Structure 1
Amino acid sequence: MDDLLLYPYPTYIANKTVAGCVAAMVGISLIAWFIQSCQARFRPPRISFLLLASHLTIVIELIVRATVPEDRQNSKTIFIIVNSLFALSQRMIIISNYVFILEVHYVRSLSSRLILIGAISCAIMSAILMVPINMLSFDPEKINASFLFRKLSASFLFAVAILFYPVWYWSKTVKDMTMQAIILVIVSSTLCAIATLFTIIQSIPSFYDQTYSHEVWFYALQIAPIVFAHFAWSVFHPKRSLVSSEPLISATGDDLSRL
């Protein structure tokens, strides 16, 4: 662990211009998502609000990166804030993937509810494990323990991202999905899998040091997958891509969807 002298902080100075530009890009996707969700009366509600919150958290995280003075970038408070915001955004997209395929048949069976609860529980467990990570990371004598919790948290999250594929197969929804919906699910789930795989790689001490030494790793394998996933959701918004057996809006304009 001798090479982790600044652990858990990155050794690079965050590029404020890049952070600001990426925040603006996500902001465009956020506006597009919000307008389309308003047009669809925020139906389906769970996907609408999950993706809205996911957009907002990543925008805030990038704004913090772009505005925090250099001498405060490696402060404990800022480190916890930016990591927590990113973690929330990432997890909400992963859960949205599950919700989307269950909405195709408007599935409300016990098994579908258990699957969704299981996915949410694993994502929450992964987030809960970040608490001891943040507590132990700043104690030089407990770095090994912090990496153990990092591995556990990353493994839970990666499992949720990968188990999406057998769940999608089990749901037998592909034949009833539009081409836009299939593209959306493939793009979003693949990007989430890439981001979670990178999280596992970062939980290995030697790779943690390397990835936190160059900002390009952060943008290429953490931010980029999430940003492109956001754009995919905005381009293939459920109001166009989701053809559910339970219509969102009737021909007369009445709201027919249920929570």
Structure 2
Amino acid sequence: MHIKRYIAPTFLAAVVFVAVFAPWLPLFDRDAIDLASALQPPSANHWFGTDNLGRDTFTRVVYGSRTSLSIVVAAVGAGGGLGCLLGLLAGYRGGWFDAIIMRAADLQYSLPPVILALVATVALGTGMANLVIAISLATWPRFARIVRAEALHLRQRDFVLLAELGGASVARVLLQHLLPNMLNTVMVLATLDIGLVVTLEATLSFLGLGVQPPDPSWGTMIADGRAYLSQAWWLTALPGAILVATILAVNTTSHLLRQRQDERMEVAFV
């Protein structure tokens, strides 16, 4: 049972490793076309087979993980940063600003994130930068609501009141006193959001609104493989399996982190 706790984090670490070091791994050229080798099934030479242009599918899956990792880091950083900033200000300042931010968050919560990301992508256009912006706009409310709740709790603590009495500015109170005391919560929330961001990126890419050719993406690979399901099942099944396994690994790892945080809090209050 103890070993099982490390399966998901180990798999996730392996995905991150191959994504970061893909250019230095002994892989095929991701864009090299070899029509003579088109639609070859998985083998010792091509672990995930080849696509309709003879490109190595495993290589493109690895570079697809690199694309997803870049989008995850940018989108979670942007969406989480925006949500944390608005949540801190809403919880600390209160009043009309708090009401506006929370009503905006409630409005976005009324629609699924994928619909919001889809609408934003259609409005902004395709491209990596617009994809990150669209996903960030769909994911900030959860950060804002949870950080606001933490700020409401912490702003009445003695160390915050003493900082205010000492003449500390709002920025100093937020960044030096409130934010450091909720970093564990923010980190767990960011880990939880990774699975959502990966799903949104794959969904938008599958619909043709995300990553554009020739850059590989798990979503585009699954979409491109639909035309060959009867003769080349691996083009859709294997990238799809990696996508599902990665999302499960992320969610399991975030659950383990949340459990560890809860255990620490229980010990702190004993």
Same fold, TM exceeding 0.5?
no
Larger RCO: 1 or 2 (CA < 8 Å, sep 6+): 1
Structure with higher Rg: it is 2
TM-score by length of 2: 0.30
Provide the TM-score with structure 1 as the length reference: 0.31
